[in-house]
């Protein structure tokens, strides 16, 4: 809600001219989500400070949020937006100081073009990534960064808010556009709809400093609220600005991504292994249980040997995603006819699961509470009984290679991760109880001791 | 009755084919004797698909539609009449096949008129332009086929010759032989006797029957002084020492109208053997033949006729009870076909395939979802056990087990031990369904639009969309359905208060119950997380009663059905403490139960919701407490420069004060815990115990039971729920308001006001009255600003109230099922429905 910018360049009150806001006035600007105030707590020759204070109208914000997202959670009503220097503040800053941000000044063109001694203070910046990320983002831009986590009242822990003070010799326009872009990046929460116009905005505001920023991959991704397609467009635009090659960004940082080998991520390798197992089984009809967004379905559709492909997921949102990702509405009729998407659960017996040559449980079982595994076993191996069942799951022994401690899991929703012995014991039990044979394979580059990152069990019966 | 008034008798549930040439008067006949909806006409179907009843090119499509309609009606058990010429054998064969597939009988009514008459009639109708030749050809086809029709699979071919007889005929329906729904009992259902006459006599004696003896002193009949009816599930014969004695007794009872008996596979085979047909003499058949050999011819003849005439199954008590020797799946109830008979006699072992062509592997009882109780025998078990409303009474008496009877409707089991092992079993006795896993439910139990009956608000609808959401939550997060017998309903808040500075106040709660209850209870609302605890006296109870096969031997779940603790040992330890308290308080004996379902609040809030509190509430407080003082400082500096920021500074100061109160509010509900140290459980209602649903409005009793538990708890886990009873319209009200203010001032969340009643009217089960400070964490730190408060007072409560009442009704209906030991899938439907209703979009702040 609060940002102060101070300069010590004499005469410091010229800050008012650059910002086009008179130091002796208190001005207010109506925003869609509240009122932005600009005033100067100090305005001397040696030192002048402009304050931007945003009074958020929580009720208006909640209504806008409800319209945009359609979800109704308490968070929509009780949140940090009225207090934090969030993307809302960035938007207000962008509007209130739009001329200054563009670097144009009729009155003081040289001043606008030159680096000034500046100090920026933000008492509460919501930041996913903590003080370190604040330093990572601002230090390369020439700022001396002071960043300190705000403690959580009542808990022996830090909040996601950081008190930030930046000092440096920076062009005012750059400082403003850096804040405009980086505050939402630190916040990493969408509050407004990102549209394709945002891509242009990023390129315009980012300009030179963004193209050269060592963390520009993360900046683009977060700024565009993880919208991959826009991100690619943004990168393409950036490449026009500067001939910068793609940096190597660690995927582990953002998603619970597991790196694979070379350029091929592990999930692609895993799909390849599942496809090989299915091909070897001679299956023509395949049921993908827990199909998620449909990556395996897409690969199955590309292979004409699979004449009947069904994706089942318990989450209707996942099925919607699959529908979009597979472009179901535009799929040619012949391809479309081979595919079916159904909502179903592996812990409820389901007649629709019967009659397939093969079923796949790719990275599914670890999302079930161990107590529900017997129910899954009866539904898949007992009732549906396809000739072949392919099960993949993480190999916990490999977790150390990801830098995970003994008890840590790869994904927040994993209920367990098994080592190879545990998986084998379970799989052999299942096979014995239901008349299957099972063989095991590692998936991904194997470590001599820990084995492969993913383990796969292929069950078949006569 | 003269020859001129022929009577056509068709089964109540059957397919009736009208057979006759065009113009023979089929439609007129159908309209006179059947309901319009019972008649499916090929002409009509032709019209439906082609807009022209005479368009012969549409015939294949028209018949496809006709078959579909007929098949659907038969599946649903409706008498159906097909009005088509049906003069050709292949046309009839298709329909006969359709009837067999649905296991219903099929009759033909042949309307045999002179071709001249038919031709004449057709001429009179504008839309019939068939040549005479067609009618004459059809007539020839019919005449030629008439003789063979009897062998086409019809139960009966009714032939009406000549227009006059057709005109005079009457149609009556006859009940199925299986249909004894008018028999309402009470019944004593008796398991497989297998020649164990002495045990049968003992069991009848145990049940209070008086046995009648013949001149030689042999039991030859029995009657019950209270007029009970015995029902034998078949397999009276073979293996045991006295098959003739058993037959004599049972025949006497059946002939006197005191008993019913269905045929078992052993009677079926014995009849064949007595008829001299070739059968393999095994499984105790030799004993029967030898014993019957010693009887006279007259007895053998009587026994043969008796056994041969036994039905495969009976529908009793208005269809609420089905008896078949080897059980019967629902779609076969009341049906008649070879398939039905074979299932009833031998069970689901006929190599049948399901609709996907895969062999049916699951035992039929596990799949059974019918309303009717199915009582059967055939498979010897150690102990009879209800599985999805079915029970097997064969407890292997001839193998040295026992002979068991089920009293119906009481559902009590009575058994006598076998005197000795009369016959060596081929394999040891096992449970009814060997690999039964009652936790495996079928998606059709829960998915799609559903209408669930409740006693309180009638039918509650669950939409497919909400069921879909619940399916995901249930599958991914919820406890095993065996541990999830109840989910608490949501609770509505009171009407908004008009008291200055208050959004909620007890006055409105009192007003809302005024006139509907004399007394209410104000119950402290603990600021923790709602919890439902299933507490079993011991592991054996958990296994027996709830089919649990692993620890913890009970459950502690949240309001959305998740296990409270990830660590099963922690759950077990907590439940042990509650069970110990129940034992020490003598509650097991007092409530005559081995388990109880408790409604509780688990504290602290942070024990379950720490992540939420940190992320949501503490994070907000952190930002506010960091930003607002900084803002105040710059505003102060600006003011010192003479700028006019007074109003902004004042607002900022007020928001600072509010966020400080907000931070204080949530912190009261958080404290550190380690294992169970620091965890408190406040029970406030015993929801159900064995055989009893206790979810009523007798809160004085509920709280007394909760107090007894708390008092007997030596572990420091259990926490009292403070309360005040209020006689509405008295000074109690004002005192309760003060009590509420004091509770809230001390940091309490507020209270719940519940009506105290003997009966269970359609009424909100409780209203929450939350404290002023607590509401800051719900409505935001600044909600007390007069402007905000004015807006919030307009909040709409209608949907929340409706949701609360529907969920409550579902919960109560579900607990009825739990108490009645209903099948798990039925209980689960109600639990699932509550979860589904919770996914309705309702303002989360209410």
Q: Each residue of A322-354: pLDDT tens digit? A: 998 999 888 888 899 999 999 999 999 999 999
The stretches of A121-248 forming alpha helices (DSSP H) are: 130-138, 172-187, 196-211, 216-223, 228-241
Question: What is the SS3 assignment for A372?
Answer: helix
Answer yes or no: do B622 and A124 touch at CB < 8 A.
Answer: yes
DSSP B424-464: --SS--B-SSTT--TT-EEGGGTSSSEEEEETTTEEEEE-H
Token pair of B548 as six digits: 């649990």
Neighbours of A247 (CB within 10 A): 11
Residue in chain A closest to B622 (alpha carbons) equals: A152
pLDDT for the residue B713: 95
Does residue B740 surpass a pLDDT of 70?
A: yes
Task: List the one residue out of B826, B73, B833, B825 whose CA is nearest residue B448.
Answer: B833
Residues A104 and B102: their CA atoms lie apart, in Å, by 85
Residues A395-444 pLDDT 10s: 999 998 888 887 888 888 899 999 999 999 999 999 999 999 999 999 99
Contacting residues of A for B623, CB less than 8 Å apart: 80, 83-84, 124, 126, 150, 159, 161
- Mean pLDDT score, B717-736: 96
Weakest-pLDDT range from B123-137, B140-154, B165-179: B123-137
DSSP B194-263: TT-HHHHHHHHHHTT-EEEE-TTS-EEEEE-TT--EEEE-S--SSSSS-HHHHHHHHHHHHHTTSEEEB-
Does residue A251 surpass a pLDDT of 90?
A: no
- Count Cβ atoms within 10 A of the Cβ of residue B818 and give its class: 0-12 exposed, 13-18 middle, 19 or more buried: buried
Does residue B23 surpass a pLDDT of 50?
A: yes
- Mean pLDDT score, B618-632: 94
Residues A112 and B733: their CA atoms lie apart, in Å, by 70
Going from the C-alpha of B154 to that of each of A305, B6, B18, B95, B106, the distances in angstroms are: 47, 19, 12, 10, 5
| Chain A, chain B: beta-carbon pairs less than 8 Å apart | 212
Residue written as token pair 């086929």: B145
Weakest-pLDDT range from A100-114, A197-211, B111-125, B364-378: A197-211
Going from the C-alpha of B799 to that of each of A77, A78, B468, B604, the distances in angstroms are: 19, 22, 21, 30
- Mean pLDDT score, B230-253: 96
Residues B128 and B703: their CA atoms lie apart, in Å, by 81
Neighbours of A384 (CB within 10 A): 23
Within the 351-380 window of chain B, which residues sit less than 8 Å (CB to CB) from chain A?
Answer: 354-358, 361-362
Question: Where residue A237 falls among pLDDT bands split at 50, 70, 90?
Answer: very low
Position with higher pLDDT, B609 vs A281: A281
Does residue B365 surpass a pLDDT of 90?
A: no
* Among A126, A154, A372, the residue to mutate for chain B (most B Cβ within 10 A): A154
Task: List the one residue out of B275, B289, B372 whose CA is nearest residue B327.
Answer: B372
Residues A375-394 pLDDT 10s: 999 999 999 999 999 999 99
- Is B526:B444 a contact under the CB 8 Å cutoff? no
Q: Give the nearest partner residue to A83 out of B615, B627, B777, using CB atoms.
A: B627
**Cβ of residue A272 closer than 8 Å to a chain B Cβ:** no
Going from the C-alpha of B743 to that of each of B40, B623, B668, the distances in angstroms are: 71, 29, 13
What is the torsional sign of CA B305, B307, B313, B316? positive
Question: Side-chain half-sphere of B673: how many Cα atoms within 13 Å?
Answer: 21
- Is B422:B401 a contact under the CB 8 Å cutoff? no
Neighbours of B166 (CB within 10 A): 22
Element (H, E) at B570: helix B568-584
Cis peptide preceding B556, ω within 30 of 0: no
Token pair of A118 as six digits: 């500046």
Sheet hosting strand B767-770, strand order edge to edge: B492-493, B767-770, B750-756, B519-524, B723-727
Residues A381 and A437: their CA atoms lie apart, in Å, by 12
Residues A393 and B555: their CA atoms lie apart, in Å, by 28
pLDDT for the residue A68: 53
Question: What is the SS3 assignment for A53?
Answer: strand
Task: List the one residue out of A22, A113, A118, A125 whose CA is nearest residue A83.
Answer: A125
Contacting residues of B for A24, CB less than 8 Å apart: 643
Within the 316-345 window of chain A, which residues sit less than 8 Å (CB to CB) from chain B?
Answer: 316, 343-345
Q: Give the nearest partner residue to A367 out of B476, B616, B635, using CB atoms.
A: B476
Weakest-pLDDT range from A255-259, B273-277, B430-434, B822-826: A255-259
Contacting residues of B for A308, CB less than 8 Å apart: none
Residue in chain A closest to B651 (alpha carbons) equals: A55
- Could you say which DSSP state residue B314 is in? E
What is the torsional sign of CA A156, A157, A163, A164? positive
Contacting residues of B for A83, CB less than 8 Å apart: 620, 623-624, 626-628, 659
Question: What is the SS3 assignment for B127?
Answer: coil
Answer yes or no: do A160 and B841 touch at CB < 8 A.
Answer: no
Token pair of B541 as six digits: 């109870």
The crossing angle, in degrees rounded to 10, of helices A172-187 and A87-96 is: 160
User: Which phi and psi (to 5°) does residue A340 adopt?
Assistant: -140, 140
**Cβ of residue B445 closer than 8 Å to a chain A Cβ:** yes
Element (H, E) at B723: strand B723-727
Question: Where residue A65 falls among pLDDT bands split at 50, 70, 90?
Answer: low
Residues B338 and B317: their CA atoms lie apart, in Å, by 25
Does residue A207 surpass a pLDDT of 90?
A: no
CA–CA min distance B417, chain A (Å): 35
CA–CA min distance A351, chain B (Å): 8
Question: Side-chain half-sphere of A423: how many Cα atoms within 13 Å?
Answer: 27
Sheet hosting strand B373-376, strand order edge to edge: B179-180, B313-316, B321-324, B373-376, B390-392
Token pair of B477 as six digits: 């997060």
pLDDT for the residue A73: 66
Residue in chain B closest to A25 (alpha carbons) equals: B643
pLDDT for the residue B611: 80
| Phi-psi label, residue B733: left if phi above 0, alpha if psi -120 to 50, beta otherwise | alpha
pTM (2 d.p.): 0.76
User: Which phi and psi (to 5°) does residue B779 adopt?
Assistant: -105, 0
Question: Where residue A86 falls among pLDDT bands split at 50, 70, 90?
Answer: confident
Residue B62 CA, distance from chain mean position: 38
pLDDT for the residue A172: 93
Answer yes or no: do B634 and A344 touch at CB < 8 A.
Answer: no
Answer yes or no: do A83 and B666 touch at CB < 8 A.
Answer: no
H helix count then E strand count, chain A: 17, 15
| Phi-psi label, residue B813: left if phi above 0, alpha if psi -120 to 50, beta otherwise | alpha
pLDDT for the residue A249: 30
Q: Give the nearest partner residue to A83 out of B623, B648, B777, using CB atoms.
A: B623
The three state secondary structure string of B716-752 is: CCECCCCEEEEECCCCHHHHHHHHHHHHHHCCCCEEE
Contacting residues of A for B354, CB less than 8 Å apart: 351, 354
**Cβ of residue A381 closer than 8 Å to a chain B Cβ:** no
- Could you say which DSSP state residue B772 is in? T
* Among B479, B623, B649, B786, the residue to mutate for chain A (most A Cβ within 10 A): B623
Q: Give the nearest partner residue to B631 out of A1, A315, A371, using CB atoms.
A: A1
Within the 463-492 window of chain B, which residues sit less than 8 Å (CB to CB) from chain A?
Answer: 468-469, 471-472, 474-476, 479-480
- % of residues, chain A, pLDDT over 70: 85
pLDDT for the residue A218: 81
Element (H, E) at A185: helix A172-187
Q: Give the nearest partner residue to B443 out of A40, A124, A348, using CB atoms.
A: A348
The crossing angle, in degrees rounded to 10, of helices A196-211 and A216-223 is: 160
pLDDT for the residue B349: 64
- Is B83:B18 a contact under the CB 8 Å cutoff? yes
Task: List the one residue out of A57, A285, A306, A86 whose CA is nearest residue A180.
Answer: A86
What is the torsional sign of CA B343, B345, B347, B348? negative
Q: Give the nearest partner residue to B843 out of A42, A72, A315, using CB atoms.
A: A72
CA–CA min distance A413, chain B (Å): 9
Residues A20-54 pLDDT 10s: 999 999 999 998 778 999 999 999 999 999 999 99
Question: Where residue A79 falls among pLDDT bands split at 50, 70, 90?
Answer: confident
Residues B291-325 pLDDT 10s: 999 999 999 999 999 999 999 999 999 999 999 99
Token pair of A60 as six digits: 């208006």
Answer yes or no: do B625 and A152 touch at CB < 8 A.
Answer: no
Question: Where residue A239 falls among pLDDT bands split at 50, 70, 90?
Answer: very low
Does residue A240 surpass a pLDDT of 50?
A: no
* Among A78, A320, A412, A432, the residue to mutate for chain B (most B Cβ within 10 A): A78
* Residues in contact with B668: Cβ distance below 8 Å, sequence separation at least 6, in sequence order: B527, B747
- Is A404:A374 a contact under the CB 8 Å cutoff? no
Weakest-pLDDT range from A103-107, A293-297, B295-299, B540-544: A103-107
Residues B378-406 pLDDT 10s: 888 888 888 888 999 999 999 999 999 99
- Is B150:B89 a contact under the CB 8 Å cutoff? no
CA–CA min distance A206, chain B (Å): 28
Position with higher pLDDT, B148 vs B438: B148
Per DSSP bridges, beta strands B402-408 and B412-417 are: antiparallel
**Cβ of residue B641 closer than 8 Å to a chain A Cβ:** yes
CA–CA min distance B619, chain A (Å): 6
- Is B524:B723 a contact under the CB 8 Å cutoff? yes
> At CB < 8 A and 24+ separation, what contacts does B787-790 make?
B788/A59, B789/B501, B789/B503
């Amino acid at each position: 809600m609060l940002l102060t910018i101070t300069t010590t360049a004499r005469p410091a009150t010229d800050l008012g001219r650059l910002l086009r806001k008179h130091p002796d006035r208190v001005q207010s600007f109506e925003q869609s989500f509240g009122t932005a105030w600009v005033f100067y707590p100090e305005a001397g020759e040696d030192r002048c400070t402009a304050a931007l204070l945003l009074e958020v109208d929580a009720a208006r914000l909640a209504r806008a949020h409800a319209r945009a997202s359609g979800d109704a959670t308490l968070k929509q009503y009780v949140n940090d937006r009225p207090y934090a220097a969030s993307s809302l503040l960035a938007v207000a800053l962008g509007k209130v100081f739009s001329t200054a941000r563009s670097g144009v000044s009729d009155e003081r063109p040289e001043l606008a073009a030159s680096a000034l001694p500046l100090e920026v203070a933000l008492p509460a910046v919501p930041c996913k990534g903590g003080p370190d990320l604040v330093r990572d983002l601002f230090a390369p831009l020439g700022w001396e960064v002071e960043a300190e986590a705000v403690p959580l009242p009542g808990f022996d822990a830090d909040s996601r808010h950081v008190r930030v003070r930046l000092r440096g010799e920076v062009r005012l326009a750059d400082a403003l556009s850096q804040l405009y872009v980086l505050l939402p990046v630190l916040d990493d929460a969408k509050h407004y709809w990102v549209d394709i116009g945002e891509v242009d905005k990023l390129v315009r505001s980012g300009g030179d400093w963004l193209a050269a920023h060592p963390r520009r991959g993360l900046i683009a991704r977060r700024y565009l609220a993880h919208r991959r397609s826009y991100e690619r467009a943004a990168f393409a635009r950036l490449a026009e600005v500067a001939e910068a090659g793609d940096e190597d960004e660690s995927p582990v940082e953002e998603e619970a991504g597991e790196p694979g080998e070379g350029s091929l991520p592990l999930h692609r390798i895993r799909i390849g292994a599942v496809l090989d197992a299915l091909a070897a089984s001679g299956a023509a009809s395949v049921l993908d249980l827990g199909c998620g967004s449909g990556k395996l379905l897409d690969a199955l559709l590309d292979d004409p040997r699979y004449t009947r492909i069904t994706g089942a997921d318990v989450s209707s949102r996942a099925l919607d995603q699959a529908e979009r990702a597979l472009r179901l509405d535009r799929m040619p009729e012949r391809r479309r006819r081979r595919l079916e998407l159904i909502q179903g659960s592996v812990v409820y017996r389901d007649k629709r699961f019967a009659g397939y040559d093969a079923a796949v449980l790719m990275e599914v079982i670890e999302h079930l509470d161990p107590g529900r595994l017997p129910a899954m076993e009866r539904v898949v191996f007992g009732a549906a009984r396809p000739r072949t069942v392919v099960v993949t799951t993480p190999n916990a022994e490999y977790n150390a290679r990801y830098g995970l401690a003994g008890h840590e899991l790869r994904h927040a929703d994993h209920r367990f991760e098994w080592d190879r012995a545990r998986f084998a014991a379970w799989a052999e039990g299942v096979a014995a109880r239901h008349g299957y044979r099972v063989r095991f394979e590692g998936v991904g580059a194997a470590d001599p001791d820990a084995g492969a990152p993913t383990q796969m069990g292929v069950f078949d019966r006569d | 009755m003269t020859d001129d008034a022929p009577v056509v008798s068709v089964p109540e549930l059957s397919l009736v084919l009208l057979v006759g040439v065009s113009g023979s008067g089929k439609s007129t006949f159908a309209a006179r004797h059947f309901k319009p909806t019972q008649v499916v006409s090929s002409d009509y179907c032709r019209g439906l698909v082609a807009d022209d009843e005479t368009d012969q090119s549409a015939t294949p499509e028209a018949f496809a539609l006709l078959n579909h309609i007929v098949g659907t009606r038969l599946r649903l058990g409706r008498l159906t009449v097909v009005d088509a010429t049906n003069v050709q054998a292949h046309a009839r064969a298709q329909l006969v096949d359709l009837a067999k597939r649905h296991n219903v009988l099929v009759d033909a009514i042949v309307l045999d008129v002179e071709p001249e008459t038919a031709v004449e009639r057709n001429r009179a109708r504008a839309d019939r332009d068939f040549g005479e030749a067609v009618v004459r050809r059809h007539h020839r086809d019919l005449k030629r086929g008439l003789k063979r029709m009897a062998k086409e699979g019809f139960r009966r071919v009714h032939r009406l010759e000549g227009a006059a007889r057709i005109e005079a005929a009457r149609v009556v329906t006859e009940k199925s032989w299986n249909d004894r729904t008018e028999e309402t009992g009470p019944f004593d259902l008796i398991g497989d006797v297998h020649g164990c006459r002495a045990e049968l006599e003992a069991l009848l004696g145990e049940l209070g029957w008086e046995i009648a003896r013949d001149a030689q002193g042999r039991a030859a009949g029995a009657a019950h002084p209270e007029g009970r009816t015995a029902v034998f599930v078949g397999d009276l014969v073979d293996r045991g020492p006295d098959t003739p004695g058993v037959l004599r007794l049972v025949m006497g009872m059946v002939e006197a109208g005191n008993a019913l008996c269905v045929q078992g596979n052993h009677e079926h085979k014995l009849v064949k053997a007595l008829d001299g047909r070739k059968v393999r003499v095994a499984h105790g058949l030799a004993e029967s033949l030898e014993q019957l050999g010693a009887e006279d011819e007259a007895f053998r003849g009587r026994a043969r006729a008796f056994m041969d005439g036994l039905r495969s199954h009976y529908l009793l008590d208005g269809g609420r009870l089905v008896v078949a020797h080897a059980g019967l799946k629902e779609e076969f109830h009341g049906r008649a076909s070879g398939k039905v008979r074979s299932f009833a006699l031998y069970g689901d072992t006929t190599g049948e395939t399901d609709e996907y062509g895969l062999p049916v592997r699951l035992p039929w009882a596990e799949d059974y979802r019918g309303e009717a109780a199915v009582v059967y025998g055939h498979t010897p078990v150690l102990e009879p056990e209800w599985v999805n409303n079915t029970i097997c009474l064969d407890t292997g008496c001839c193998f040295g087990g026992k002979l068991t009877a089920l009293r119906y409707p009481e559902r009590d089991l009575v058994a006598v031990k076998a005197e000795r092992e009369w016959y060596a079993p081929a394999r040891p006795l096992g449970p009814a369904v060997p690999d039964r896993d009652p936790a495996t439910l079928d998606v059709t139990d829960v998915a799609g639009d559903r209408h669930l009956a409740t006693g309180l608000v009638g039918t509650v609808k669950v939409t497919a969309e909400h069921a879909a959401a619940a399916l995901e939550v249930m599958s991914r997060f919820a406890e095993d359905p065996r541990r999830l017998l109840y989910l608490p309903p949501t609770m509505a808040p009171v009407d908004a208060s008009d008291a200055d500075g208050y959004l909620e106040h007890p006055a409105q709660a009192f007003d809302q119950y005024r006139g509907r209850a004399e007394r209410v209870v104000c119950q402290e609302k603990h600021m923790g997380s709602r919890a439902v605890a299933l507490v079993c006296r011991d592991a054996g109870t958990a296994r027996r009663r709830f089919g649990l096969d692993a620890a913890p031997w009970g459950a502690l779940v949240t309001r959305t059905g998740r296990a409270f603790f990830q660590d099963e040992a922690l759950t077990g330890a907590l439940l042990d403490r509650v069970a110990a308290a129940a034992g020490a308080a003598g509650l097991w004996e007092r409530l005559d139960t081995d388990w109880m379902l408790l409604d509780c609040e688990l504290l602290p809030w942070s024990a379950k919701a720490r992540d939420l509190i940190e992320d949501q509430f503490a994070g907000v407080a952190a930002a506010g407490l960091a930003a607002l003082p900084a803002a105040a400082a710059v505003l102060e500096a600006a003011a010192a420069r003479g700028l006019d920021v007074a109003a902004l500074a004042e607002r900022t100061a007020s928001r600072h004060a509010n966020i400080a109160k907000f931070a204080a509010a949530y912190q009261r509900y958080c404290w550190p815990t380690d294992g169970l140290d620091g965890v408190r459980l406040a029970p406030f209602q015993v929801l159900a115990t064995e055989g009893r649903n206790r979810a009523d409005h007798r809160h004085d009793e509920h709280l007394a039971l909760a107090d007894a538990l708390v008092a007997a708890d030596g572990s420091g886990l259990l926490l009292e729920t403070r309360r005040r009873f209020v006689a509405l319209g008295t000074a109690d009200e004002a005192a309760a308001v003060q009590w509420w203010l004091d509770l809230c001032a001390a940091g309490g969340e507020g209270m719940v006001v519940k009506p105290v009643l003997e009966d269970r009217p359609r009424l909100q089960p409780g209203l929450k009255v939350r404290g002023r400070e607590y509401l800051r964490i719900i409505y935001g730190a600044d909600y007390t600003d007069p402007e905000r408060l004015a807006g919030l007072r307009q909040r709409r409560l209608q949907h929340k109230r409706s949701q609360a009442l529907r969920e409550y009704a579902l919960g109560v209906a579900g607990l009825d099922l739990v108490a009645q030991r209903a099948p798990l899938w039925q209980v689960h439907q109600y639990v699932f429905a509550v979860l589904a209703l919770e996914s309705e979009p309702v303002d989360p702040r209410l």
